[in-house]
C-alpha cells in the first residue's frame, strides 16, 4: 500500500481548471457589459443630439409668439403656450444632462475656459426658469451686490450656465410655496497651495453664486448621496416626490470639480 497526497494534487488541479474557466466566463461577461454600456452611451448621445434641434426651434417660435411678434395672443392661448415653453425648457435641460453623462462616461467632456462676466450667465439661467417658477406660484429672484456687473471669472460659459440652471430647477421643483433666491456676492476665500505640510495658504477674492429656497430641504445625512448618479435625498422620496432623473446635481458636481482643478 502506497500512501501519498496525490488526491490533493488532483483536487488542486480540478479547482485550478474550474477557477480558470470561471475567470474566462467573467471576462467575457465583463466585455459584453462594456459593449452594452458603450452602445447605451452612443444611443443616448445620438438621440440627444437629434432632439436638440427641434427643441431649440420650439423654444424660439414659442418665445416669439409670447412676445406678440406674430400678433396679439388671447390670454388662454398665452397660458397654454407658457406651459409649452416651461416643459420645453425642462426637456432642454434633460437632453443636456443625458449628453453630458454620456460624455463623462466616455471621458469626452471638454471645457473651453475664458475670462468673462458672471452676471449675464446667472441672469440668463434665472430668466430661462422664470416661467417655471411663475407656473408654481413661486417668486424667483436674483439678488446681487452693487458691483456684480464687474465680477469677471475664468470659466466655461456653457458648463457654468448648466450647473446654475440645474440648481435653480431643483430648487423650484422641491419648493411647494414661497420663493427661490439666486445670489451673487464677493467673498474672501483661503486655499492651500500644494500638498506638503509646508505648503502655503493663498487668500483671494472669489465670486460666490448661491441658490436658496423655502422648500422641503435635505437631511444632513443625505447631503453626500444626492451627488451620486440617479440618486435623490432620502427625505425627498415619497408619493409626492417630483419626477427627477437624479442626474443634474451629479453632473454639476463633476463639472464644478473640473473647473475647480483648472484654478488650482
Q: How confident is the model at residue 7 (pLDDT cuts 50, 70, 90)?
A: low
Asked if 175 and 214 touch (Cβ cutoff 8 Å), the reply is yes
Taking the whole predicted model, whether its pTM rises above 0.85 is answered as no
pLDDT in the model for residue 219: 79
**In the structure grid, which three cell numbers stand for residue 252, read together?**
454639476
Helices (H) and strands (E) in the chain, counts: 6, 5
Q: How far is CA 77 from the centre of its chain?
A: 33
pLDDT in the model for residue 125: 93
pLDDT in the model for residue 8: 55
> Of 182, 61, 75, 67, which is closest to residue 133 (Cα–Cα)?
182
Report the chain's terminal Cα–Cα distance, integer Å: 76
Q: Is the dihedral of CA 247, 115, 152, 192 positive or negative?
A: positive
Q: How confident is the model at residue 234 (pLDDT cuts 50, 70, 90)?
A: very low
> Of 259, 222, 48, 249, which is closest to residue 166 (Cα–Cα)?
249
> Is 155 exposed, middle or buried, given 0-12, 13-18 or 19+ CB atoms closer than 10 A?
buried
Strand blocks (E) in 6-125: 113-117
Rounded to whole angstroms, how far apart are CA atoms 150 and 205? Answer: 13
pLDDT single digits (tens) 48-69: 667 778 888 898 999 999 998 9
Q: How confident is the model at residue 194 (pLDDT cuts 50, 70, 90)?
A: low
Measure the CA angle with vertex 141, ends 116 and 222; round to 5°. Answer: 90
Rounded to whole angstroms, how far apart are CA atoms 48 and 51? Answer: 5
Average pLDDT over residues 216-223: 80
Amino acid at each position: 500500500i502506497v500512501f501519498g497526497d496525490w488526491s490533493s494534487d488532483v483536487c488542486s488541479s480540478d479547482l485550478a481548471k474550474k477557477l480558470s474557466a470561471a475567470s474566462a466566463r467573467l471576462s467575457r461577461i465583463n466585455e459584453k457589459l462594456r459593449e452594452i454600456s458603450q452602445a447605451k452611451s452612443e444611443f443616448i448621445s445620438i438621440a440627444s443630439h437629434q432632439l436638440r434641434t427641434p427643441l431649440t426651434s420650439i423654444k424660439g417660435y414659442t418665445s416669439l409668439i409670447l412676445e406678440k411678434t406674430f400678433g396679439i395672443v388671447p390670454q388662454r392661448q398665452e397660458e397654454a403656450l407658457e406651459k409649452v415653453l416651461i416643459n420645453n425648457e425642462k426637456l432642454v435641460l434633460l437632453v443636456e444632462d443625458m449628453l453630458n453623462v454620456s460624455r463623462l462616461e466616455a471621458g469626452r467632456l471638454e471645457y473651453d475656459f475664458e475670462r468673462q462676466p458672471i452676471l449675464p450667465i446667472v441672469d440668463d439661467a434665472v430668466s430661462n426658469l422664470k416661467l417655471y417658477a411663475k407656473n408654481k406660484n413661486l417668486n424667483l429672484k436674483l439678488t446681487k451686490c452693487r458691483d456684480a456687473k464687474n465680477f469677471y471669472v475664468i470659466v466655461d460659459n456653457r458648463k457654468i450656465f448648466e450647473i446654475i440652471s440645474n440648481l435653480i430647477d431643483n430648487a423650484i421643483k422641491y419648493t411647494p410655496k414661497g420663493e427661490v433666491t439666486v445670489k451673487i456676492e464677493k467673498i474672501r476665500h483661503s486655499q492651500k497651495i500644494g500638498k506638503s505640510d509646508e505648503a502655503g495658504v493663498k487668500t483671494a477674492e472669489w465670486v460666490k453664486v448661491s441658490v436658496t429656497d423655502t422648500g422641503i430641504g435635505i437631511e444632513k445625512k443625505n447631503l453626500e448621496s444626492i451627488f451620486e448618479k440617479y440618486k435623490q435625498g432620502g427625505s425627498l422620496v415619497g408619493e409626492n416626490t417630483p419626477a427627477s432623473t437624479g442626474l443634474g446635481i451629479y453632473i454639476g458636481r463633476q463639472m464644478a470639480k473640473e473647473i475647480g482643478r483648472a484654478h488650482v
